[in-house]
Amino acid sequence: MTPNQLSARAAALAIAGKRLSSVELIEACLARIAKREPTLQAWAFLHRDLALKQARARDAEAPSGPLHGVPVGVKDIIDTADMPTEHGSPMYKGHRPVIDAACVALVRRAGGIILGKTVTTEFASSPPAKTRNPINPNHTPGGSSSGSAAAVADFQIPIGFGTQTAGSVVRPAAYCGLVGFKPSYGTYAVSGMKLLAHGVDTLGTLTRNVDDTLLMWEVLHAGPAGAARLRERPRIGLCHTPFWSEAQKPAVEAFEAASRRLAGTGFEIEVLEMPSWFETLREDHRVIAEYESARNTAFECAPERFHLHSPTMQAARERGWKLSPERYAAARAAQLRAQQEYAALTANFDALMMPSAPGEAPEGLATTGDPVFNRLTSLLHVPAICLTVMKGPHGLPVGVQFVGAVGNDRAVLELARRAEACFA
């Protein structure tokens, strides 16, 4: 195993134990990037010299935190004081923030090294970016956290930051065979992260195993993970969601396979149906996202800059400006009602299991895929974590997501750790 293939936890322990140097780890990651970047195009900016300089400094000092000497990739809508933050838009070409985003500062506080900025779609929205799927470059890696997902899945870095408005952490994780975790809304600090829709936007992480997701939980809370509250036999609600008809055959097979494995390894399984009216929440999510996005990008939407948006983005912003405050308020009221009903519906479960995406990553780069199974969890503000279950007919990953109650993130993470062992 080469150093770049180590998990973040294993790499940090090896560096602390002097069995591996941070320089060796960074050099292995950079070598992998040099080999694969022409094909995958996962990076918006790399600072090789600075990363190696910081690695040498880490090697010369005692371990300073749980990420000591370990590289992390940062989605390019998250501010970094020593690197550009361009938001996937020509409007911000060469833009240099003055300070780090909170999550970046916490990584540095934990001893981590920011290797560079990973590709994002334009303002973390829907137009596809240049990044390709590392398993099959003819397929999308998902969006909008495409660069982080591809880089982590390709062993270029062990951890990448993503953000989710609709499905931009869970869906790329599903398409690239990763663990993608979106915590409860507001759990991770988002200062310094460019908000698209402040009512749903959430910072998340992309890793290759649940243990590294827990490691980042410690880093982003700047403290121990704490104990998880789980039943002796964790109770999982099998939830097709109101959108089950849009699940393709591989997603259905993965869902059924996951159900069988969990039932055979000590999990208590019960089918759970959501209220039929939840189907309308897809439209409410769109209203909230487009209304808020138009106003959050009022500066970028000024006449002298509007032409720098892609045609897709221009159309979305125009739709957002046309939405009335009354329609937005109605969507927010539906969101609140759904959150209350969901809390009551799921009170006796440790988590629900849902599809993480309609199927395998779509072929071609004209789309980042459909977030139909993710919009709901973003709107509900609940924690969601994606795990791979199997490969589909094209050899691409297919997974499920475990979704918990607001604030019950640690229990969901612990349940995911146990489920990961079943699926492996």
CA distance 399 to 161: 20
User: Would you call 293 a catalytic residue per the annotation?
Assistant: no
Catalytic residue chosen out of the listed positions 22, 75, 194, 378: 75
- 179-182 sheet: strands from edge to edge: 43-46, 113-118, 71-75, 159-164, 202-207, 179-182, 384-391, 397-403, 351-355, 235-238, 268-271
In 224-324, where does DSSP find H-type helix? 249-263, 281-296, 303-306, 311-322
AA identity, residue 258? A
The CA-CA-CA angle for residues 252, 253, 255, to 5°, reads 65
Question: Catalytic pick from 125, 126, 168, 184?
Answer: 168
Q: Any catalytic annotation for residue 75?
A: yes
378 in catalytic set: no
Closest CA to 174 of 372, 415, 17: 372
The active-site residue, picked from 22, 144, 145, 184, is: 144
**What's the CA gap between 254 and 238, in Å, rounded?**
13
What gap in Å lies between CA 203 and CA 183, rounded to an integer? Answer: 8
Extract the runs of DSSP E, i.e. beta strands, from 172-274: 179-182, 202-207, 235-238, 268-271
Catalytically active residues, by annotation: 75, 144, 168
